[in-house]
Every structure is written in structure tokens, then in C-alpha cells.
């Protein structure tokens, strides 16, 4: 990569980590909020659903905005706005105010992905490798959020968790807004001829795969800390279950960092459709093992699932840009974020209902069903690439 490309990758990786860290504080402190406000998990799952749906819906206008106004500006607005609403969440006196804060946080956080992803795919030549690093940055934020938020909730309160990430997000937003990170000129991108046309059939199949990954991501990040705190059976130094669950969720999610990086490297060396199918298939037994096990076996199954699940994602995201004309990347990633996070948002309410009625472990059986849909669709993309009209892409 050139120096300019490394700056783009570094900037977006930090922003990606913060974007996920701020929004995932809620899942890490879900149990503590339920106790303080004396509400059921189904209700809190519905709040997560509403916030995630807002996150998804905002991706649709964010895509064209990134194409027209510039990606770096949209990323800065997203981080600063989400940080400000995290402060409102910290001050919430009841579930109603908390829900409003989280929905606004979702709207502002949803600006990120179309802008960040289009900045990479238009500004960096080695897309899969760059997206792997970018994904690893997101996984670091995803992994650290349960540990830090759970720790702060156990030592002080869940409100301190929101304040901590809000301050960081607002500070980084202010710094990056004034930074000199370069990006392709939006007018130049719009006026250039695309290197290849948009291929609607494989692109539509990738939307389905992306929706499945979004559903699994939302279900995992919302319910993994609760699942671990409930079923691990570990007691560490007398800490509260929320601290233990958050700490071990971080341990499992850190395997996603290695998975993202390795997936990005392999995505530059192996034909992508041949990599996506086996990785998607491997996630199904890992999820079923997570649902059926406890203790150390549960922790190992969670780490294995996270590794293969996130290993598949740089390849899947790069394939979306492979099938889309370059000047439309912002809009395409807006649509993929809408489908991914929109469908994914329903993992909150459906998972909450399942956890209340049959136990949190059954949430991961539900997620295995989503992984099966991904695998079947990845097989269709494989067939298109191997036997269709575009075997070289």
C-alpha cells in the first residue's frame, strides 16, 4: 500500500472500532439495566431492535451523502453524534429516555459504514486486505466494549460505561474532522467511467449474505455477554456476573481480530467465492456447540465461531464492490448496510423473546439458522462464479 492508502486504512479502522464500541455498550450492560429499571429482557431486546433498525435505516441516505459530500466528513459526523447521544443515554432516568437516546445513537452511528467502506474501496487498490484490517479494527472495538463496559458497570455503574465511550468518540471525531486524511474527490469519482458494470444477480445474492451476517452480528453482540455470564459457571475474585460475562465475551471476540486480518490476506490470494463458502459452512456447527455447551467448552466454541465468522467478512464485503460499478460504491454500501443492519436489528427482539421463554442458549440455535441461509446463498454465488458468465471476477 502507498502512504496515502495506509492513512485511509488507519483512519477508517480506528473509526470502525469506535463506531461499534459505542453502540455495543448497551448489550454489555443489559442485565444491569434490567435489574435497575425492573424490566424484562424482551423489552430491552425491543429497545436494541429499535436502535439497530435506526442504525440500518440511516445507511440509505448515508450512501449518497458519502458519494456527494465526502466520506471523511460523514465519518466524523457519525462518531461525534453517536458520542453525544451516548451522554444522553448515561443520564437516562427511565427506559423511555434510554430508548430515545439509543435510537438517536443508532441514526447517527448508521452514517458510518457506507462512508467508511466506500472510502476504502475507492481509495485503496488491495480491497480485501484493506477491508480485513478495517474489519480487525472494528473487532477490536467490538471485543473491548464488553470488557470495558462490563468492568465499569461492575465497579461504578452502567452509566459510566456510556460516558467513557462517549468522551473518546467525541474527542476522536474532533481530531479527525481537522485531519489531512485524503480521499477520492466525489465529483471526479462520479464523472469517471466504471471499470466494470454492476452485476445484479451476484450482487443481490451478496445482499442476502450480508443480511445474514448482520443478523448474526447483532444477535452475537447483544446476547453473548449474557450467555457467558449465565452459562460459563466461572467465578473470578467475587466480581459480578456482568463483569465475568463481559471479560470472557471480550476474550472470544478478540479471535475475530485474527479472523478479519487472515480473511483479508487470503481474499487477495484465493478466489473470493471459493473462500467464502467453506468459511460460512464452518460457522454452523460452532454456533450449535455454543448453544449446547457450558464452561470451557462454551468459551472455546465461541472463540472458534467468532474466528471463522469474521474471517469470512472481508471477502464478502470485497465481493460486493467487485460486483458494483466504482462510482456507485457509496450507494451500494448504503443498501448493503440497510439490509445487513436492518435484518440484523430483528435479532434483538427475537433473541429477547427466545431468551425469556426458553433460555439464552437457544438464541444461538436461531443464529445457526441464519448461518445456514448464508451458506446456501454462498453456494449459489459459487455456482454463478464457477459456471456463470463471469468466472474471472
Q: What is the pTM of this model?
A: 0.71
CB atoms within 10 A of CB 60: 18
Check residue 67 and report its DSSP letter: H
Q: What string of pLDDT tens digits covers the 393 residues of the chain?
A: 777 778 888 888 888 888 888 887 887 787 788 888 888 777 887 888 788 788 878 878 887 887 777 777 888 888 899 899 999 999 988 988 999 999 999 899 888 888 888 778 777 877 778 888 888 888 788 778 877 887 888 788 889 999 999 998 898 888 777 766 555 554 444 444 445 556 778 888 988 998 999 899 888 877 887 788 777 766 655 555 556 666 777 778 788 888 888 888 887 787 878 888 999 999 999 999 999 988 889 889 999 999 999 888 888 888 887 787 666 777 788 888 778 877 877 887 788 888 888 888 899 999 999 999 999 999 998 988 888 655 444
pLDDT at 375: 95
Task: Please give the grid coordinates belonging to residue 249.
Answer: 465475551
Spatial neighbors of 301 by CB under 8 A, at least 6 apart, are: 286, 289, 290, 293
Q: Which residues of 67-93 are buried (b: 16+ CB within 10 A; e: fewer)?
A: beebbbbbbbbbbbbbbbbbbbbbebe
pLDDT at 393: 46
CA geometry: angle at 363 spanning 362 and 364, to 5°?
A: 85
pLDDT at 230: 79
Q: Which CATH superfamily is domain 3-181+193-387 in?
A: MFS general substrate transporter like domains (1.20.1250.20)
* CA nearest to 176, candidates 54, 18, 65: 18
Between CA 365 and CA 227 the distance in angstroms is 12
pLDDT at 308: 92
Spatial neighbors of 313 by CB under 8 A, at least 6 apart, are: 131, 135, 213, 260, 263
Burial of 304 (0-12, 13-18, 19+ CB in 10 A): buried
Task: Please give the grid coordinates belonging to residue 216.
Answer: 448474526
Task: Please give the grid coordinates belonging to residue 391.
Answer: 468466472
* CA nearest to 255, candidates 215, 300, 222: 300
Spatial neighbors of 87 by CB under 8 A, at least 6 apart, are: 162, 163, 166
**Secondary structure of the chain: what % helix, strand, coil (to 5)?**
85, 0, 15
Task: Please give the grid coordinates belonging to residue 29.
Answer: 450492560
DSSP per residue, 231-245: HS----TT--HHHHH
Between CA 301 and CA 76 the distance in angstroms is 36
Amino acid at each position: 500500500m502507498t502512504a496515502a492508502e495506509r492513512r485511509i486504512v488507519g483512519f477508517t479502522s480506528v473509526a470502525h472500532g469506535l463506531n461499534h464500541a459505542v453502540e455495543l455498550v448497551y448489550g454489555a450492560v443489559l442485565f444491569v439495566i434490567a435489574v435497575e429499571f425492573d424490566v424484562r429482557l424482551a423489552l430491552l431486546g425491543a429497545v436494541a431492535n429499535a436502535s439497530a433498525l435506526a442504525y440500518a435505516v440511516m445507511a440509505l441516505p448515508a450512501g449518497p451523502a458519502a458519494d456527494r459530500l465526502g466520506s471523511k466528513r460523514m465519518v466524523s459526523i457519525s462518531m461525534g453524534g453517536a458520542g453525544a447521544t451516548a451522554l444522553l443515554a448515561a443520564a437516562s432516568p427511565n427506559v423511555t429516555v434510554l430508548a430515545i437516546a439509543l435510537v438517536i445513537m443508532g441514526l447517527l452511528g448508521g452514517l458510518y459504514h457506507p462512508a467508511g467502506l466506500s472510502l476504502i474501496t475507492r481509495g485503496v487498490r488491495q480491497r480485501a486486505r484493506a477491508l480485513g484490517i478495517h474489519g480487525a479494527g472494528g473487532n477490536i472495538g467490538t471485543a473491548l466494549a464488553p470488557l470495558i463496559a462490563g468492568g465499569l458497570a461492575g465497579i461504578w455503574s452502567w452509566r459510566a460505561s456510556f460516558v467513557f465511550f462517549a468522551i473518546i468518540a467525541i474527542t476522536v471525531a474532533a481530531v479527525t474532522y481537522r485531519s489531512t486524511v485524503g480521499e477520492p474527490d466525489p465529483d471526479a469519482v462520479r464523472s469517471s467511467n466504471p471499470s466494470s458494470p454492476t452485476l445484479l444477480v451476484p450482487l443481490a445474492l451478496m445482499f442476502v449474505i450480508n443480511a445474514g451476517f448482520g443478523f448474526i452480528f447483532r444477535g452475537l453482540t447483544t446476547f453473548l455477554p449474557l450467555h457467558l455470564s449465565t452459562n460459563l459457571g466461572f467465578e473470578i475474585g467475587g466480581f459480578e456476573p456482568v463483569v465475568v460475562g463481559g471479560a470472557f465475551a471480550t476474550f472470544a471476540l478478540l479471535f475475530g481480530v485474527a479472523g478479519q486480518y487472515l480473511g483479508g490476506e487470503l481474499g487477495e490470494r484465493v478466489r473470493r467465492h471459493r473462500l467464502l463458502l467453506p468459511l460460512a459452512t464452518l460457522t454452523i456447527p460452532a454456533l450449535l456447540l455454543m448453544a449446547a455447551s457450558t464452561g470451557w467448552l462454551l468459551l472455546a466454541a465461541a472463540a472458534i465461531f467468532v474466528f471463522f465468522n469474521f474471517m469470512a467478512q472481508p471477502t464478502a464485503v470485497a465481493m460486493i464492490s467487485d460486483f458494483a460499478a466504482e462510482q456507485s460504491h457509496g450507494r451500494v454500501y448504503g443498501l448493503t448496510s440497510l439490509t445487513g443492519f436492518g435484518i440484523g436489528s430483528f435479532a434483538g427482539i427475537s433473541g429477547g423473546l427466545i431468551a425469556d421463554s426458553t433460555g439464552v442458549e437457544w438464541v444461538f440455535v436461531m443464529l445457526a439458522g441464519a448461518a445456514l441461509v448464508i451458506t446456501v446463498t454462498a453456494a449459489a454465488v459459487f455456482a454463478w462464479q464457477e459456471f456463470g458468465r463471469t468466472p474471472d471476477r
